[in-house]
Amino acid sequence: MKNGALVRLVDVHKTYRTGEMEVPAVCGVSLEIKRGEFVALMGASGSGKSTLMNILGCLDRPTTGSYFLDAADVSGLNRDQLADVRNRKIGFVFQNFNLLPRTSARENAELPLIYGAHGLSHSQLCEKADRVLSSVGLAGREDHHSSQLSGGQQQRVAIARALINDPEMLLADEPTGNLDSRTSVEIMAIFQQLNERGITIVMVTHEQDIAAYAQRNVIMRDGVILDDHLVTQRFEAAAQIQQNGRARPEPARRGEGAPDTHVTM
């Protein structure tokens, strides 16, 4: 194991069986992601990027091949063990936010703490959730339900939920897919700041613009990695927001405060 590699996939295959038919989704992927990298996983639909994402997120197991996460082989773990790995090491951000309905931002954020042996009291849970919510710019909205939050705010709650357990890796599946471009930039700014703090981020996207915020782009097609390169002209989200803010001072959306992308955690 090379030093600093958080993720190491060795010749990973994933084949789905539908009746008699065997449908290969991932056909021999070997990939290494170092600690602190910001990787965008790209590809058209059916390229196997979602399947690879599920394997990286310990939601699914490879049919053959090995997956080392944080130097530990997780390809042979059972359901419960995978659940524990997800709880401790991985934070998920989804395209459709996947917040619990009719539940406050605080309760959504503290969800991962309920599972796994954390032994925190109710007030400690709240305190921790409030801290991580304010770090993604949602201070003062802890008690808002998801229906009272804008899309960008909902995604920030989801990021807070992903961060609350101090995971090794943040997995984002089309995190800007349901957001307008301005909000997308704000979310990317949060990602970049988290990444600067040392969190490894793997993000699935099919948008070139969004992939340009990452350090490295991995492009898949037909279940194999087609291209793997570092981004040369990387977008800086924070700088773009400042520019945009000066160029066209849009009035803040109702229910949404001024963009606050400063990560203070």
Partner 1 sequence: MRIAPTFHVAYRALRRNKMRSVLTALGIIIGVGAVIAMVGIGNGAKAQVEAQIASLGQNVILIFSGSTTSSGIRTGWGGAGTLKIEDAEAIRREVPSVIGVSEEVVSTTQAAAGNQNWFTRIFGESADYFDIRQWPLSDGAPFTPQDVRSANKVCVIGRTTATQIYGNENPIGQILRIKNVPFTITGVLTPKGLSPQGVDQDDIVVMPYTSAMKRVIGGTTLRNINVQIDDPAQIAPAQQQIISLLRQRHNIRPGRDDDFTVRTQQEIAEAATATSRVMTVLLGAIAGVSLVVGGIGIMNIMLVSVTERTREIGVRMAVGARGTDILTQFLIEAVTLSSVGGLIGIICGIGASSVLSIYAHWPTLISIGSIAIAFLFSAAVGVFFGFYPARKAAALDPIEALRYE
Q: Establish if 142 lies at the interface with partner 1 (CB under 8 A).
A: no
Question: In this complex, which beta carbon is closest to partner 1, that of residue 26 or of residue 189?
Answer: 26
CA 160 from chain centre, in angstroms, equals: 11
252 contact partners, CB below 8 Å, separation of at least 6: 258, 259
Q: Establish if 77 lies at the interface with partner 1 (CB under 8 A).
A: no
Question: In this complex, which beta carbon is closest to partner 1, that of residue 60 or of residue 186?
Answer: 60
DSSP-assigned letters across all residues of 174-213 = STTTTS-HHHHHHHHHHHHHHHHTT-EEEEEES-HHHHTT
Single residue of 2, 17, 119, 232 touching partner 1 by CB under 8 A: 119
Which tokens is 45 given? 């639909």
For the segment 203-222, give every residue that binds partner 1 (CB under 8 A).
none
Tell me the window of 22-30, 38-46, 77-85, 149-157 that interacts with partner 1 (CB under 8 A): 77-85
Contact track, partner 1, 17-56, x by CB under 8 A: -------------------------------------x--
CA–CA separation, 143 vs 23, rounded Å? Answer: 45
Q: Establish if 116 lies at the interface with partner 1 (CB under 8 A).
A: yes
Question: In this complex, which beta carbon is closest to partner 1, that of residue 97 or of residue 191?
Answer: 97
Tell me the window of 26-34, 110-118, 191-199, 240-248 that interacts with partner 1 (CB under 8 A): 110-118
User: Residue 167 in 3-state DSSP?
Assistant: coil
Question: In this complex, which beta carbon is closest to partner 1, that of residue 84 or of residue 256?
Answer: 84
| Among candidate residues 105, 90, 195, the one with its CA nearest the CA of residue 144 | 105
Question: In this complex, which beta carbon is closest to partner 1, that of residue 85 or of residue 220?
Answer: 85
Q: Establish if 70 lies at the interface with partner 1 (CB under 8 A).
A: no
Q: Residue 79 burial by CB count (10 A; 0-12/13-18/19+): exposed, middle or buried? A: exposed
Shortest Cβ 23–partner 1 spacing (Å): 15
Total interface residues for partner 1 by CB under 8 A:
31
Which tokens is 250 given? 């849009």
**Backbone torsions φ then ψ of 233, nearest 5 degrees:** -105, 85
Shortest Cβ 119–partner 1 spacing (Å): 7
| Among candidate residues 230, 229, 226, the one with its CA nearest the CA of residue 47 | 226
Q: Would residue 223 be called left, alpha or beta, if left means φ above 0 and alpha means ψ between -120 and 50 degrees?
A: left
Single residue of 37, 107, 142, 186 touching partner 1 by CB under 8 A: 107
Question: In this complex, which beta carbon is closest to partner 1, that of residue 148 or of residue 243?
Answer: 148
Shortest Cβ 54–partner 1 spacing (Å): 6
CA–CA separation, 18 vs 76, rounded Å? Answer: 22
Count CA atoms within 13 Å of residue 143 on its CB side.
1
Residues that bind partner 1 (CB under 8 A): 54, 57, 59-60, 79-80, 83-84, 86-88, 92, 94, 98-103, 107, 111-112, 114-117, 119, 122, 125, 161, 165
